Structure 1
Amino acid sequence: MREARVTAERGSILLGVSVPRSVLETRIDALVPRRSTPVVVYDGGEEGETLAARAARRLTELGYTDVRTLDGGLRAWADAGHKVHLGGTHVVGQSFGEFVEDVHGTPHVTVAELRAAQARGEDVVILDSRPTEEFVVHSLPGGTSIPGAELVYRADEVVSSPDTLVVVNCAGRTRSILGAQTLINAGLPNRVVALAGGTQSWILEGHTLEHGTVSAAPPPSPAALDRARARARGVAERFGVRAIDGATLRQFREERERRSLYLLDVRTPEEFTAGHLPGSRSAPSWEVAPWIFRFAGTHHARIVLLDDPDLVRATVTASWLEQLGWGEVFVTSIAEAGGERATGPDVPTVLGLTDVPSTDPLALRDALASATPPVVVDLAPSPDYGAGHIPGAVFAIRARLADSAADLPGAGAITLTSPDGVLARLAVRDLTAATDRPVTALAGGTAAWVDAGLALATGEERLLHPADDAVPHGWRETDPERQKEGFRRYLAWELGLVAELRQDDTVPFRRFR
């Protein structure tokens, strides 16, 4: 239940799912859809009424019927001799990438080796396994974006010769390793390697990245799709991927109040928006593996991956989930599921959202210019707050806001805001119980303020709480040397994760021949 930076710096349980109390109501329905699921919440083990106890009480209010706190929290876990993992909010994801390299011996090349091959004029294709949105921010010169299981689906549209050296990269190591091993497992005839250290190593070697480039592989042609299907069949056989029919899916849905069920659509978000199975979530293949904990909080649940009839992306994604050992995985097509289709983007359900007193942006603007202005409290993620906030706003972390009510500046009204206003509306309830001052939410949040043509201020100033909600990393550093130092720390941490796993007897990962 702790904030991300606290979790990273003070440690976590490998199989725990990070759901900070600040955002609990916005995530828990999707992560734990069955209200009778046994839920154990934990924090660091502080004295007094703990963060976990408050979260447990809130979950009970939201309809969860089997909620417990871990006695003594993380401190008791460590005192009992169990492994505590440091360095990230979900260490299991990066650990899985390092496990894969260790088990499969995933080959790699260094930045120097890649550049030497390019200088010799060798036939080299660089495939970036990150989502296109990240690729556009920065990419390797000459790279092409093909994220996640799209690699098997689209690779033949970019790799025209079996003699081409295929180099898969990401920003660091995890998705480089999984991307390269994905193509190797699928039987691509080429030599396939991961770029050691990804774009971070590229910068550490003194080279320049491209910014704003849009270079994505097209959907597969009929011939390329046939080859992708054949490769997916081989993957399914090797890793025991199970396909189900519509009748079985209907049975699973009928049993979802007794056995947790996650319906995850692994196609692109654009395909999901155009038409999807009602009740499913948009979970692009590059997000599901290895980041399944962002979608399925319940261990050993049924996870059904939905795809087009070819099942290429679902099968490849399922092969990784089988190795990760998070749940019971199945694949099926949306066509096989039958029934009507819904359209539109994936909009997660927010629990506990009620009507609260609100203020519109223009009224807030006028009030701020009055003789008795309200104090504006911004509950945005700290990087978003730094990038742009209502002038004069105070940054705060929602889970600590009620305890800090007396520390808020001024003595008059308080207006809460957040990027879309949802978190602000939830927090009105918390703060109203802790202060006699009038509390309202900015209708539509900071986005509505911007839409009204009102200016934002930038910079990390007026912090009511330390910015513990975000894990520091090199990409946020503006000083080049500090950025490089951040990259070195991160890559060294990833390289040490296999040794960390050997100290933990809860590791769920499975080995396949």
Structure 2
Amino acid sequence: MPRRIAGRELLDLLGKAGRQTAILDLRSPLERSNGHIAVSAGIPYHDLEQRIATLVPNRGATVVLAGAQQVDERGAALLERLGYRDVAILDNGIDGWKSAGGRVYTGTNVRSKTLGEWIERRYSTPTVDSDTVDEWRREGADVVVIDSRPASEYVHHHIPGAYNSGGGAEIAFRTAQVVQDPGTKVVINCAGRTRGIVAAQSLINTGIPNPVYSLHNGTPAWERSGHPLAFGDGPAVPAPEQVSPQLAEWAATTLAKAGAAVVDIDDVRTGLGDDATTTYLLDVRTPQEYQLGHYSAAVSAPGGQLVQATDEYIAVRGARVVLVDTPDFVRAANTAQWLRFLHDGPLSVLAHLPGADIARPQPTAVPVPDVPRVSWDELEEWRSRGPVWIVDLRSSNGYAAGHIPGSIHARREHLDNIVADTGAGRVVLVGGSEYAAEHVAATLPGTWVLTGGIDAATDLTADDGQYAGEIVDRTGPPDFGPERDAWYADYFAWELSLLSESDGDPFFDFDAVDDR
């Protein structure tokens, strides 16, 4: 039976050094973005079994649910069924936190983005506007633009001629491959502010002699200034065969300053086997390197994204975090120098050794349950003989891109009503490679799951979408057009207010961390 915890008690708990506690918000991404506890991690009830083993790998960790009372109660019962042994519910959810004096923040990845603003202020990170960069280029100046976003975002849109770095932590690692002249101007962009600022300052910190700038407000400002964007592939910055002695020395010095020791495989195995602690093994290399070979216990967490969205990777405050990198540790150092401001537990680094492996002593993944399933051919036959409700549980973006004709998009919270309204009709749940619908079916007797998920369907459409409720799993900008411009105007106003909004909040006291 989950216990109750008052807001004041939770504030006191978070103030205890070394106490390993996860604050989870089970509301939808949209609800959470309208006001949440900054040191919480968002994991919607809809996705709980899909993500909990990665976000809270140790079932003995203290877990406090702090969102909305009704969903917290359902989530607590589910977590206890999954084997989590210390689950608490915050009395009155967010309101209970506020009544105890805790602050609430809107938006997403709030602490990470506030850190970006703090970095720019603390280090006076140089910035440059889009018109100036365009003028430099037209005048034939020696200028290189490097995109700090992951490759998937770069392909969606980028500044013409900009290099695809593969991600923010890669810039310190790779820039020497395309910048040899110390007079070359280097401009770092993202799709907003944080990743451009962090990557630019990271490159400056390596001691590069070049003038380095972050592009003010990134690609939205570039487009807003009337400059065209490019789409698809573009030039990429290659990885070095080996880093320079100077860069290797910078990595070692930076890790020492961050208090991140170099550990070995045996040490990590011991940590993973300790039931009293939580250890995260996060691989900060590119997703491509991870796919080619990684430790079984490691989660892909490219360094730039880990700093940009720490609360999406690390939920347990005080946990041990081990960063996996190539033996030069440049990307690990680049990550650790900023991660120490966002996570209060011990940091260490581990070299990825091809052929070696590290697995958790006990698998943490939630096993996919055995539930009634139906093949695509059987489903087609059912539909020819009577009413069948096909419910697509994937993301709203995935559903919009292609779904079974006549299906309805829904989230877990909609299903009780859907099942009650179906009468004698069958209910078939549809998942995909990233969403196992079986977890939901196991809690909803009388439903079936489409074997093979959406990939088994031979007939898909992007038209006539039906939604069981408001779309609540999207918090980012709309696609290109006036609505996107308006969204970014509000976003930049919000981001530029973060330092003042968080002033005096101990969870944002980056100055104190910097002084250690």
TM beyond 0.5: yes
The CA distance in 2 between the partners of 1:390 and 1:382, in whole Å, is: 13
Pair 1:373-2:373 in alignment: no
Pair 1:198-2:206 in alignment: no
Q: Secondary structure at the match of 1:430?
A: coil
Question: Would the alpha carbon gap of residues 246 and 493 (structure 1) be closer, same or farther in structure 2, given more than 3 Å must change?
Answer: same
In structure 1, the residue matched to 2:414 is: 400
In structure 2, the residue matched to 1:226 is: 245
In structure 1, the residue matched to 2:30 is: 5
Deviation, 1:108, is 0.6
Deviation, 1:421, is 7.8
Say whether the 8 Å CA contact 2:310–2:342 is kept in structure 1. Answer: no
In structure 2, the residue matched to 1:19 is: 43
2:311 to 273, 281, 293: 293
The CA distance in 2 between the partners of 1:176 and 1:184, in whole Å, is: 12
Question: Would the alpha carbon gap of residues 167 and 330 (structure 1) be closer, same or farther in structure 2, given more than 3 Å must change?
Answer: same
Say whether the 8 Å CA contact 2:368–2:436 is kept in structure 1. Answer: no
In structure 2, the residue matched to 1:435 is: none
Question: Would the alpha carbon gap of residues 505 and 311 (structure 1) be closer, same or farther in structure 2, given more than 3 Å must change?
Answer: closer
Pair 1:340-2:356 in alignment: yes
2:450 to 433, 442, 457: 442
The CA distance in 2 between the partners of 1:193 and 1:455, in whole Å, is: 49
For 1:148, the aligned partner's letter is G
The CA distance in 1 between the partners of 2:509 and 2:275, in whole Å, is: 25
The CA distance in 2 between the partners of 1:416 and 1:41, in whole Å, is: 27
In structure 2, the residue matched to 1:413 is: 426
For 1:477, the aligned partner's letter is D
In structure 1, the residue matched to 2:461 is: 457
Q: Tell me how large the CA RMSD over aligned residues is.
A: 2.2
In structure 2, the residue matched to 1:120 is: 139
For 2:501, the aligned partner's letter is E
The CA distance in 1 between the partners of 2:380 and 2:505, in whole Å, is: 54
Pair 1:490-2:491 in alignment: yes
Deviation, 1:482, is 1.6
Question: Would the alpha carbon gap of residues 268 and 364 (structure 1) be closer, same or farther in structure 2, given more than 3 Å must change?
Answer: same
In structure 1, the residue matched to 2:63 is: 39
For 2:497, the aligned partner's letter is G
In structure 2, the residue matched to 1:241 is: 260
In structure 2, the residue matched to 1:139 is: 158
Question: Would the alpha carbon gap of residues 158 and 483 (structure 1) be closer, same or farther in structure 2, given more than 3 Å must change?
Answer: same
Say whether the 8 Å CA contact 1:14–1:507 is kept in structure 2. Answer: no
Say whether the 8 Å CA contact 2:57–2:364 is kept in structure 1. Answer: no
The CA distance in 1 between the partners of 2:436 and 2:227, in whole Å, is: 41
For 1:235, the aligned partner's letter is T
In structure 2, the residue matched to 1:185 is: 205
The CA distance in 2 between the partners of 1:373 and 1:117, in whole Å, is: 64
1:511 to 495, 509, 514: 514
Say whether the 8 Å CA contact 2:324–2:352 is kept in structure 1. Answer: yes
Deviation, 1:353, is 2.3
The CA distance in 2 between the partners of 1:201 and 1:97, in whole Å, is: 18
Say whether the 8 Å CA contact 1:421–1:441 is kept in structure 2. Answer: no
Question: Would the alpha carbon gap of residues 391 and 506 (structure 1) be closer, same or farther in structure 2, given more than 3 Å must change?
Answer: same
Q: Segments of 4+ in structure 1 off by > 6 A? A: none
For 2:433, the aligned partner's letter is D
Deviation, 1:389, is 0.9
Deviation, 1:387, is 1.6
Query: Is 195-204 or 225-234 further displaced after alignment?
Result: 225-234
For 2:492, the aligned partner's letter is L
Q: Secondary structure at the match of 2:485?
A: helix
Deviation, 1:415, is 0.6
In structure 2, the residue matched to 1:28 is: 52
The CA distance in 1 between the partners of 2:515 and 2:204, in whole Å, is: 14
Query: Is 52-61 or 257-266 further displaced after alignment?
Result: 257-266
Say whether the 8 Å CA contact 1:5–1:468 is kept in structure 2. Answer: yes
The CA distance in 2 between the partners of 1:115 and 1:101, in whole Å, is: 23
Structure 1 segment 305-344 matched on structure 2, within 5 A: 305-335=323-353, 340-341=356-357
Say whether the 8 Å CA contact 1:290–1:321 is kept in structure 2. Answer: no
1:55 to 68, 72, 75: 75
For 1:232, the aligned partner's letter is A
Q: Secondary structure at the match of 1:29?
A: helix
The CA distance in 2 between the partners of 1:421 and 1:141, in whole Å, is: 32
Question: Would the alpha carbon gap of residues 482 and 276 (structure 1) be closer, same or farther in structure 2, given more than 3 Å must change?
Answer: closer
In structure 2, the residue matched to 1:252 is: 271
Say whether the 8 Å CA contact 2:172–2:203 is kept in structure 1. Answer: yes
The CA distance in 2 between the partners of 1:94 and 1:443, in whole Å, is: 41
Say whether the 8 Å CA contact 2:260–2:346 is kept in structure 1. Answer: no
Deviation, 1:503, is 5.0
Pair 1:64-2:80 in alignment: no
Say whether the 8 Å CA contact 1:385–1:460 is kept in structure 2. Answer: no
In structure 2, the residue matched to 1:359 is: 374
Deviation, 1:250, is 4.3
Query: What percentage of aligned pairs have identical amino acids?
Result: 35
Give 5+ residue unaligned stretches, structure 1.
433-437
For 2:372, the aligned partner's letter is P
Question: Would the alpha carbon gap of residues 297 and 274 (structure 1) be closer, same or farther in structure 2, given more than 3 Å must change?
Answer: same
Q: Per-residue displacement from partner, 1:160-197 (whole Å, max 9, x unpaired)? A: 11111110001111100111011011111111110011
Q: Secondary structure at the match of 1:289?
A: helix
Question: Would the alpha carbon gap of residues 212 and 443 (structure 1) be closer, same or farther in structure 2, given more than 3 Å must change?
Answer: same
Say whether the 8 Å CA contact 1:321–1:327 is kept in structure 2. Answer: no
Question: Would the alpha carbon gap of residues 455 and 98 (structure 1) be closer, same or farther in structure 2, given more than 3 Å must change?
Answer: same
